[in-house]
Amino acid sequence: MPSTQTYRRLYVWEMPVRLYHWLNALAIAVLAVTGYLIGRPFTVGYAQEASFQYWFGTVRFLHFMAGYVFLFNMLVRTYWGFVGNRFASWDKFIPLNRQAWRDIVEVLRIDILQTRGTGPIHIGHNRLAGLIYFVTFFIFMFQGLTGFALYGPMSHSVFGNLAAWVVPLMGSEAVVRQWHHAMLWFYVLFTLVHVYLVFYHDYVEGRGTTSSMVGGWKFEREDRLDD
Amino acid sequence: MPRAGNSLWEVMREKGYSRRDFMQFCTFAATAAGLGTNASAAVAKAFEKKDRPPVLWLHFQECTCCSESFIRASHPMVADVLLDAISLDYDETLQAAAGHQAEKCKADVMKAYAGKYILLVEGSVPTKENGVFCMIGGRTAEDILKEAAAGAAAIVAWGNCASYGCVQAAKPNPTGATAIQKLVNKPVINVPGCPPIADVMVAIVTHILMFGRMPELDSQGRPKEFYSRRVHDTCYRRPYYDAGLFVEVFDDDNARKGYCLYKMGCRGPLTYNACAVTKWNGGTSYPIQSGHGCLGCSENGFWDNGPFYRHLPSFPGFGIESTADTVGLTLGAAAAVGVAAHAVSTNIRKRKLIHDQVVEAVKDTPDSKEVE
Ligand code: HEM
Ligand code: HEM
Ligand code: SF4
Ligand code: SF4
């Protein structure tokens, strides 16, 4: 170990990536809460006549608005995967070579067996995180497709019509709804584990992981800057 | 004997109907097919001139509720005229002939009117065990269907059975009950429902007779005219839904007030049918108006999405009581426990590692004296 360490400040997450991340988190939070309510509306006081209240309609409206934000946000991020910096690039999500798979095993050892890391730590996503986000993007797509397939018949939305093929493919709207609802729990699980892992890596690596998604900066020892 | 050939008007006159009856019928037919009363003159012209095509009505795995519905069309003359005069040349339930006589009649029609007759099918077709579950006159349903379909000008699948398989096709589908559209490689008009609404059935037959072609169909082969809207979008209880005013249990005060049945498992939001518009029994009522939620009887696989009296279906593989939420909550709790355990173990196992790192980092910091 060299006796003196110099840390470099690196601009990792550009503004569009950060904006995407927090818009996405916000949209998902709104979608999960309103979606749950659509599936299980709670009992309100029944003192009012229908002409004076519209809360369930409002909940659904919020769900659809957040659904649009979720969709467009995802499209912008996909575009950014081709024009953004190297940390945002699409190839960081797909383990295409042997080295990438070795890195995944290494991260698993650090996370599960809790060994000390040996190789260089990645500056952007580690390879395991990248792979998980890659899978997650497909689940985002599934949620968007099933959601817009359900939305189509209740609107004149072009996006609804574009997803209309999902219903006959899955059998009926009842099945589409069942899976659209079930996937709600994926987001709950993902958020729980994801936020925990962010904190965990921040703790064991000490490079400012948590704040990086806010300000964009990470910190890295100069002798390890070979990524 | 094939009786087709004469025009509808000729047949009606023979039967003793007046010109006025005929015009009434034409007006009904025009409105039923969505043309409006103005078109009745054109319809009359068509029914005066055009030869009636013969109609074959096949019965396979079914309960006859479609036939029962059909003969209860709201205009009494309609059922009468259609049954008497469309020349229903073969229908196991309604024909007078039986046995070899009946089979011969069907064979004659198929030969004499190849490419011209209309085929109406009620019931699904079993495909497991070489189709032994439904045999008529020593032949399998599949065989009979394929033969009849080959020369048909138009094929109509009555009800959920013929359109999707209905209860026979519910898991585990022991007989391999199959929808008509999966067995014939011709376009099929699906008229789902358990049963379909009588007036809808009549309108579709009338449409085919009148124009000699199919009504406009959606991607699932259903006539757009009757199946393009959800029951929910035409339901008169919809304002209660938007207001979040729901029946909580049958017979509570909310049920008496006629609130929305969503929480009682109403499938109106995912069911495409004309119930709330056309209604049943001559426009008297429809299930929701009578206080019971929609079961989704015109939807593919509606038997497998139960229980009927709960919004969320049971989650496949986890028993009847479990919903996606039960499964999700369990997984969520397990993950939370896992994360907590991991956090504890991190602090035990990595204590030394992190201590070293901190010491090393602090030592490395040029201006570290006060930190230490
Ligand atoms: C993270 C993403 C999402 C989650 C967690 C989510 C969750 C849910 C849940 C739990 C339901 C209730 C299903 C039921 O029990 O009937 C629902 C309904 C629905 N969702 Fe989503 N959803 C998401 C994204 C979307 C998107 C992108 C759209 C597209 C517009 C969408 C459109 C709908 C529609 C149309 C319904 C049916 C609402 C109704 O019956 O009025 N969802 N969602
Ligand atoms: C609904 C909640 C959340 C969702 C769905 C979510 C999703 C994601 C996704 C998809 C990425 C990849 C971003 C990209 O490359 O474009 C990501 C990265 C990241 N997220 Fe989140 N996130 C959520 C909440 C949070 C929270 C609450 C924090 C921090 C307090 C956080 C911190 C981070 C960080 C630091 C990264 C980059 C770290 C890495 O590469 O492993 N996220 N998140
Ligand atoms: S009763 Fe059923 S169809 Fe009518 S508004 Fe309520 S959920 Fe929709
Ligand atoms: S209300 Fe629903 S279940 Fe009842 S007949 Fe109409 S479509 Fe079928």
pLDDT digits (tens, 9 = 90+) for A185-203: 999 999 999 999 999 988 8
For residue B294, pLDDT over 90 is answered with yes
Mean pLDDT (chain B, rounded): 86
| Ligand 2 atom at minimal distance to the Cα of residue A209 | 35
Contact A3 B267 (CB under 8 A): no
Q: Which residues of A touch B311 (CB under 8 A)?
A: 39-40
Q: Which residues of B touch A206 (CB under 8 A)?
A: 357, 361
pLDDT digits (tens, 9 = 90+) for B195-206: 999 989 988 888
Closest Cα to residue B208, out of B123, B80, B118, B148?
B118
Q: Which residues of B touch A178 (CB under 8 A)?
A: 305, 312-313, 315, 324
Rounded distance from Cα A95 to ligand 4 centre (Å): 50
- Is the predicted ipTM greater than 0.90, yes or no? no
Contact B246 A43 (CB under 8 A): yes
Does the CB of A157 have a partner CB in chain B at under 8 Å?
A: no
For residue B25, pLDDT over 70 is answered with yes
Q: Residue B244 has what DSSP assignment? A: T
- pLDDT value at residue A210: 94
Mean pLDDT (chain A, rounded): 89
If pLDDT is split at 50, 70 and 90, which confidence band does B2 have?
very low
pLDDT digits (tens, 9 = 90+) for B88-114: 667 777 777 788 888 888 888 899 989
pLDDT digits (tens, 9 = 90+) for A31-63: 999 999 999 998 776 667 778 888 999 999 999
Nearest by CB to residue A41, choosing from B219, B263, B361, is B263
Most B CBs within 10 A among A59, A169, A178, hence the mutation to make, goes to A178
Rounded distance from Cα A60 to ligand 1 centre (Å): 8
Most A CBs within 10 A among B218, B240, B264, B364, hence the mutation to make, goes to B364
| Ligand 4 atom at minimal distance to the Cα of residue B288 | 1
For residue A214, pLDDT over 90 is answered with yes
Contact B328 A178 (CB under 8 A): no
CB pairs under 8 A between A and B: 129
pLDDT digits (tens, 9 = 90+) for B142-200: 999 999 999 999 999 999 999 999 999 999 999 999 999 999 999 999 999 999 999 89
- pLDDT value at residue B369: 46
If pLDDT is split at 50, 70 and 90, which confidence band does A2 have?
very low
pTM attached to this predicted model: 0.87
Q: What secondary structure, in 3-state letters, does chain A show?
A: CCCCCCEEEEECCCHHHHHHHHHHHHHHHHHHHHHHHHHCCCCCCCCCCHHHCCHHHHHHHHHHHHHHHHHHHHHHHHHHHHHCCCCCCHHHCCCCCHHHHHHHHHHHHHHHHCCCCCCCCCCCCCHHHHHHHHHHHHHHHHHHHHHHHHHHHHCCCHHHHHCCCHHHHHCCHHHHHHHHHHCHHHHHHHHHHHHHHHHHHHHHHCCCHHHHHHHCEEEEEHHHCCC
Contact B329 A185 (CB under 8 A): yes
Chain A: residue nearest B221 by CA? A168
For residue B70, pLDDT over 50 is answered with yes
pLDDT digits (tens, 9 = 90+) for A91-149: 889 988 888 898 898 888 888 877 766 666 678 898 999 999 999 999 999 999 999 99
Residue B117 to chain A, least CA–CA distance (Å): 30
